[in-house]
Structure formats: C-alpha cells, structure tokens
Amino acid sequence: MAAHAYRSPACPPSLIAHWKRYFPTMDYDTTYGLSEATVPNCVHLGIENTHKIGAIGRPGFNWETRIVDEAGKDVARGQTGELIVRGNGVMCEYYKNPEATALAIREGWLYTGDMVREDEDGFIYIVDRKKDVIITGGENVFPVEVENFLHTHAAGKDVAAIGFPDERLGEIVAVVVEPVPGREATEAELLEYCAALPKYKRPRKVFFGEVSRNPTGKIEKPKLRKKYTGTEEAFKL
C-alpha cells in the first residue's frame, strides 16, 4: 500500500516518520499536480525513493520542470525559486480571463506559484507558496519551514505560520498552534523551543487556536490572517 499527497501542502517529514513507525511495511509515495495541469503527476517521487522523503520527486513522464527567479531566469541548483512546468496536460486558459491566463502561462510554461528547490540528484522539494512568504527585515521566511519545525514539538497537533505587521521590520513571524488535546503548552515554552531556528525565522508571536484547513487539507491562511491580523491578504510593504 502507499500513501499519497497532492500538491500543497507537502506532508511534514515528521508526520511521515511517525506514520512509518506504526506501519513499517507500508510503502510511501507522493505526487505533485495542480488543477491547471490536469493530472496529479507532474512531479513524482516513487516508492523506491523513500530515502528522499520530504521531496515531491522528479518530473513525471512527458513533463518538464524549471525553477526560476522573479525575472523568469533559472536559479542555481539548491537555490529557492518558483516551480514552472510544461507538458501536454497544461490547461489552455482560465475561462474568460485572459489577464490571469497571461500571468500563469508564459511561452508554454505554467507558473505554479509554488516556491521550491532542487537537490543534487534532481529531486524537488516544496518550500512554500509564493504568496505566503513572510518578509521580515528584508529576509524571506518560508512558513512551511517554521511549521515543519514546530510539528516536531510534542504539544503541536497542527501549526500555521503567518506574517504579522510590524512597524520596524515590516512583518514578523507569528504562529497559530493547535495543541494536542490534553497537552498544554505556553507561549514561552514554544518560543524557547524555536531558539534552534535562525534568529530571523523565529516566531515573535504565538496564538493558540484551531488551524483551519480546507477539504483538500490546505491551511486556510487568509482566514487565519483575517482572524489574527485583521486582513486576509499577506502583508507586504
């Protein structure tokens, strides 16, 4: 048997490791796809590549991938950029929306909005959604990195990282933590735990509450931003 993930959110490696402890004989697999590309295997890991858990894999059959910067230029291997894909499954257009189509499809390449990196073996790892990147004091913080780190804390059932407006830094990292039932945690405890992160990635605020997800399992960041910052949009200077 195999477990499958589909596009964002990527399954936290800590969750996969926890699952494998209970089901050691089950195979793990993951595929990446999106509605605009019609199929769920633009990028595929394969059950033979469990040593690469955390990656979404390599381009699937008849698919090409690139990782590009804001100017559409390829980034160096190991650097973070936006994943763009090309293949027979890419949509023709957004219905009656030529402006959105022109932004999404350029010279046959579909711009996914997912920030990724590629390792030395050509395996691709999702870093985060481009629109959710937190810019604090000029440094880019990818929420998934903070979320994956806090998923290793015993008190965290679920975690979401969002940008919180800050007069000096533009925005700071805030986390919404949904505790494990019956397990209490304090803001001070979690902030101390996060001291292992680079200073600019460390959360400055901790909120306790439900981490709302949509039917596909994706964290509903606009709802959380609205609740805790007053606006659904990601804050940018």
Asked if the structure places residue 57 within a domain, the reply is yes
Q: Are residues 6 and 95 in the same domain?
A: yes
Instruction: Say yes or no: 13 and 117 in one domain.
Output: yes
130, 148, 183 — which closes off a domain? 130
Using pLDDT thresholds of 50, 70 and 90, give the confidence band for residue 233. Answer: low
pLDDT tens digits, 143-200: 999 999 999 999 999 999 999 999 999 999 999 999 999 998 999 999 999 999 999 9
CB 153 within 8 A of CB 175: no
72 and 151 in a single domain? The answer is: no
Give the pair of three-digit tokens for residue 184: 């209490």
The boundaries of the domain holding residue 138 are 133-229
pLDDT at 3: 39
Q: What are phi and psi of 48, to 5 degrees?
A: -80, -5
**97 is a domain residue:** yes
- Please calculate the CA angle 181-212-143 and round it to the nearest 5 degrees: 100
Contact 20, 28 (CB under 8 A): yes
CATH code, domain with 201: 3.30.300.30
Half-sphere exposure of 54 (CA within 13 A, CB side): 13
Whether 154 and 63 map to the same domain: the answer is no
Domain assignment of residue 235, yes or no: no
Q: So what's the pLDDT on residue 8?
A: 47
CA pair distance 29, 46, nearest whole angstrom:
5
User: What ranges make up the beta strands (E) of the chain?
Assistant: 2-3, 27-28, 31-32, 43-44, 58-59, 63-68, 81-87, 105-106, 109-118, 124-129, 134-136, 139-141, 156-166, 170-179, 205-208
Tally of domains in the chain? 2
Q: What is the pLDDT of residues 69-84, one digit of tens each?
A: 999 999 999 999 999 9
Residue 237 lies in a domain: no
